[in-house]
Chain A
Amino acid sequence: MSDPVLNIGIFAVFVVVTLLIVVRTRRRGATTADFYTAGQAFTGRQNGVAIAGDYLSAAAFLGISGAVATYGYDGFLYSIGFLVAWLIALLLVAELLRNTGRFTMADMLSFRLKPGPVRTAAALSTLMVSFFYLLAQMNGAGGLVALLLGVTGRAGQAVVVSVVGALMVLYVLIGGMKGTTWVQIVKAVLLLIGAFGMTVWVLARYGFDFSAILHAAVERGGAGGEALLGPGKQYGATGLSRVDFLSLGITLVLGTAGLPHVLMRFYTVPDSGAARRSVAWAIGLIGVFLLFTLVLGYGAGALVGPEKIANSPGKANSAIPLLAQTLGGPVLLGLIAAVAFATILAVVAGLTITASASFAHDLYAGVLRRKNPPDAKSEVRVARWAAVAIGLVAIAGGIVTNGQNVAFLVSLAFAVAASANLPAILYSLFWRRFTTQGALWSIYGGLVVTVGLIIFSPVVSGTPTSIFPAAHFDWFPLANPGLVAIPLSFLLGYLGTILSTSPSDPHKHSELEVRALTGIGTTPERPS
């Protein structure tokens, strides 16, 4: 359906341009602040665009519009959770975290809790979330090339996954956080322009009458067409599937503000005011983008038709590429394919730098070498090697899982972020009595419960679409564990705290609270 040479050509231009930017903007210094947070030198607006670039993955672009095209209104429901979630980051997390840490979530936690154990716990959960998310992205890259470049052989897809992995490591090694951020900014701008252009095009086809697009989508949908407009086509089948959707909705809203690669972005700006402005910019851009996907989804339903989408190799994920081809032929398809690819690249680079920072800063410097802290140069060296190792693991994972449906990994990443990270962050900031034991119980408890429930869910066994369709150990009925795991982690944090034998240090909490709210001692230029 596409012209592979054209698609690869456009994508190659993106790679060359971003690599040039990464090389041009690289910082010569080897300090940890340079590598992890670009010297905290980004403005709120730049960082906001980068957050949008980090957050709007291929799943958001292709997945949500595909879901709208196939399931109608139920696809739109994802968008709302994805957006509303940012209010938690804006009101409760971004500024306070910026004021009390330097590089990672564990910085804030270890402020008033025992640094060794909480750094270990926070680093493990960060690495888990990053790994799940990364695996989903790499797996998606394999599927996407099958769709866009016509590379259907397993060997060919393995090559593409390796190229994506190698490029992401290259961005991180050469550019550190600064280069990675610029890749995300460029990608976010391209993605927004691409989605905006297609949206206007679709609207113009129907005289800028959204109701007319809906009408056309209903007509095209045939017998199930009318159901596209209301909720329930995907999740409304049984009482259980409805509970599952409720669980997903809660996970999306509470997970975003605990995603480690999102949290790390709050540290790339000089102060909490800039962190606030970045989230505000991100909310605006992400919101507008998600409204585009609504139009594009129904537009694809109307102009391409659900039947053709369902019969194409990428199923729902091919709705947007097919729509691009219908509207603008191979050139628009090539542009949109390159944007989708750039999206994967930018997101995986962001995940890689987050995971490598957590490994080097929390585990290596904060725990393993706690007695004899390494200098900045060797910590950055460890971070670089960690990035290489993460890249290799991600490539291997992407190749091994190629062809399997691992979309659940994204919601699993959100569920771990919501249950292992968010309770510890909120308790630590807002609860004076919170103790180390409470943090450990909620982080490890959240991790174990979430992953455990997924293993015993229909995602892994018991149904024809499971990973092991023949086996039956699916005694937990929901595919989304959040509804159980998130309250349980909050409860564990509470119980761990009140059952602690060593009480929390109220003076350390005073310091944390004063710093969090006023920003005393955060501005790097200010002598302390």
Chain B
Amino acid sequence: MASTDEIAAESATDWDRVRSGPEFIELKRRLRRFVVPVTAGFLGWYVVFVLLADFAHGFMATKLFGNVNVGLVLGILQFVSTFVITGLYLRYAAKRLDPLAERIRAEHERTSR
């Protein structure tokens, strides 16, 4: 199978060295700095929303304008926050992650040739 061949061919690489290099440590730090708080945030906000929908019926049914109530607005805000997080991540990854990953990849190709 190609995958095993590929892995065998590259096993000469010192992965521990790449992993402890300053550029990789920085890449990992940048990824975590975005992913960890954002994941905690959107999961927390989703669970709060579900709990409200589950146990705070009166609050969710409070009308804000016309027939649109708090529950509907919060639900739509879940959509909005999902879209916004997606957009922010695309931008963050393109600016802060991809160039660094590309540098590490190029460096690896240069040294392993």
Q: Which residues of A contact B (CB under 8 A)?
A: 32-33, 73-74, 76-77, 79-81, 83-84, 86-88, 90-92, 101-102, 107, 209-212, 214-215, 218, 229-232, 235-236, 242, 245-246, 249-250, 253, 273, 276-277, 279-280, 283-284, 287, 290-291, 365, 373, 506-507, 510-511, 513-514, 517-521, 526, 528
Contacts and interface: CB of A to CB of B under 8 A. Distances in A.
Contacts of A249: 46-47, 50, 54
Which of B54, B90, B98, B104 has the largest number of chain A CB atoms within 10 A? B54
A518 B78 contact: no
Contact of A517 (B24, B49, B51, B71): B24
Nearest 7 A-B pairs (CB), nearest first?
A: A211-B66, A230-B61, A214-B67, A511-B15, A510-B15, A249-B50, A231-B53
A276 B60 contact: no
A230 B71 contact: yes
A211 B6 contact: no
Contacts of B96: none
Of A76, A88, A365, chain B has the most CB atoms within 10 Å of the CB of: A76
B42 to A, nearest CB: 5
Given A230-B57, A249-B54, A273-B98, 11 more contacts: A81-B46, A83-B82, A92-B35, A230-B71, A245-B54, A250-B47, A280-B90, A514-B19, A519-B105, A521-B10, A528-B9
Interface of B: 1-4, 6-7, 9-11, 13, 15-16, 18-19, 24, 27-28, 31, 34-35, 38-39, 42-43, 46-47, 49-51, 53-55, 57, 60-61, 65-69, 71-72, 75, 78-79, 82-83, 85-86, 89-90, 93, 98, 101, 104-105, 108-109
B19 A84 contact: no
B28 A283 contact: no
A299 to B, nearest CB: 14
A514 B89 contact: no
A511 B75 CA distance: 41
Contacts of A242: 54-55
A291 B3 CA distance: 41
B82 to A, nearest CB: 6
A365 B50 contact: no
Given A80-B49, A84-B42, A528-B10, A73 B67 contact: no
Given A230-B61, A520-B108, A528-B9, A90 B86 contact: yes
A230 B83 CA distance: 24
23 contacts: A77-B53, A80-B75, A86-B82, A88-B39, A91-B35, A91-B89, A230-B60, A231-B60, A231-B71, A232-B57, A242-B55, A249-B54, A253-B43, A273-B98, A279-B86, A280-B86, A283-B82, A284-B86, A287-B83, A513-B19, A513-B28, A517-B28, A519-B105
A276 B60 CA distance: 35
B75 to A, nearest CB: 6
A76 B98 contact: no
A291 B101 CA distance: 36
Contacts of B54: 231, 235-236, 242, 245-246, 249
B4 to A, nearest CB: 8
B53 to A, nearest CB: 4
Name the residue in A90, A245, A249, A518 with the highest tally of chain B Cβ atoms < 10 Å from its Cβ.
A518
